[in-house]
Structure formats: C-alpha cells, structure tokens
Structure 1
Amino acid sequence: MISLTYVSTADPSLTSEHLLELLRSWRPVNASHDLTGMLLYSEGNVIQTLEGPEDSVDTMYDTIAADGRHHGVIVLHREEVAERAFPDWSMGFGRYDQAAGIDVDGVNGFLRESTEDPQSGSALRLLEIFRSTMR
C-alpha cells in the first residue's frame, strides 16, 4: 500500500460550498478504488494524503495533477505503508464557519483539534505542519 501527500493551490473559483458538494461525490469514487486519506483546505491552500493500492493512488494523483482546479501541485512525500493512517476519506476546513451548519459525511475537525503524537506517521506529521502554519 502507498501513502502519497501533495500540496496545491486551489483555483479561486473553488469555494468551500463547492468542495462540500465534491466531497459527496468523491467519497464513493474513492471507496470503489480502495482509496482513503484526508484533504485539508484553508484559504485556497490544499494538502491531501491519498492511501491505497499503488495503481489507484497513482491514477488518482495523475487525475488531480491534471485538474485545472489545482495549480502548483507538488508531491511532498510518498512511501510504502503497512497500514492506513486515515481509514476513512475525509475533508477538513481551515475555518470552522466554512463547513458550519452543513451536514456532510466526511467533514472532520482536524484543523481545529490537536492530535500531535510523536509516534504518528509521515503523512500525519505533514498534515500537522499544515495545520500549525496555515493562515
């Protein structure tokens, strides 16, 4: 199994509401390809970790990198892992009000809650850095 973490800048037209709509459609697609992970979004900045079979991760990453809604896509880390750090695919928002009042399965509070664990894997440490330095 592979874990791949990338960063990108979202197109300004990609609003929080649009991301929430996309989340509803992404979750079943990711599940059908045995992909899990987490996407964090804050003020146009994206960091995402994808986990799953190597071919599924690579295909999804190639699709994302070619998507015009992302700019400056950079792979930060790629590694083989024995188990998933994020067994359920979810999305976190930098400002709570971006997702407040919307009942969407998969929205998480990662950006508001500290989960610092010295034993955490590489992907989780990268997501923690994003959370601690986002503006």
Structure 2
Amino acid sequence: MNFSINDLAPKSCTVELVDGTRFELREMNIEDWGWLRDALGENYAEKLQALSTKDLSRVVFRLLKNKAEFAAKEVDGFDDDGNAIKEFVTGPQWIMRKMTGGLRDVNAVTVGLLTSFGLPEKKVVEALPDTEKKTQ
C-alpha cells in the first residue's frame, strides 16, 4: 500500500460491530502519534498490521469520543477453575469482549482506525482482505 504523508487527512468516523455496537472514533492528532509510538514501540505499524486485538483495542480506546460505555470496572466472574472472583476489566478489554464477530469486527475496527489516522478511503479499501472488499 503506497501513499504519501501528504495524503493523510485524519477524520472522525463511526465503527459498527457485528452485534450492532456502534462507537465513534475521533481524528488522530500529533499527540496520539507520539502516544502510539510510546505505547506500542518503534514497530507499532507492524503490530497493528499483525491484527493484535489487544493492541487494536488500546488504540481504539484512546481514540473513542465517548469512553463511558467502555469504562473500566470491577465485575463478578469466574476463573478458569470455576472459582468465583472479582475481576477488574479495563476499557480496552471491554472493547475486545464486544468484538464477537471475529475477523469481521477486527476489519471494522481496522478500517475505523485507518480512517481516523487519515488514510484516504481508497487506500483503506485496498488494505482490506479480498473477501471484505466485496461486502463494502
């Protein structure tokens, strides 16, 4: 995917997951680029391209216009042995838990991030796997 830095025009967008959950991402700014590098390391682009949902959800949470829906909180749950526990779930973890649509949700989130990063729409579509291009 070839593009020039001059092609970037960050803009806000709405992401819709398979289960109907919708959230708005704000446009990425210069501070966010610095945070991205600090949070994910020098190879942040490779990490995002590898479709690590943990990394994607961290970036999505950062760019959410309204973080309240995904606010961190303590919830009752069970460990892997069936023991009742109190579990602290972070905002990015709530986003991952909402992504029940598999790769379709990962693609929706990725397109949203690329749009908020400022990648031109044509380049965003080019970045999708062939199966997703047909449904756009």
Using structure 2 for the length normalisation, give the TM-score.
0.27
Using structure 1 for the length normalisation, give the TM-score.
0.27
Structure richer in helix, relative to its length: 2
Structure ID, larger Rg: 2
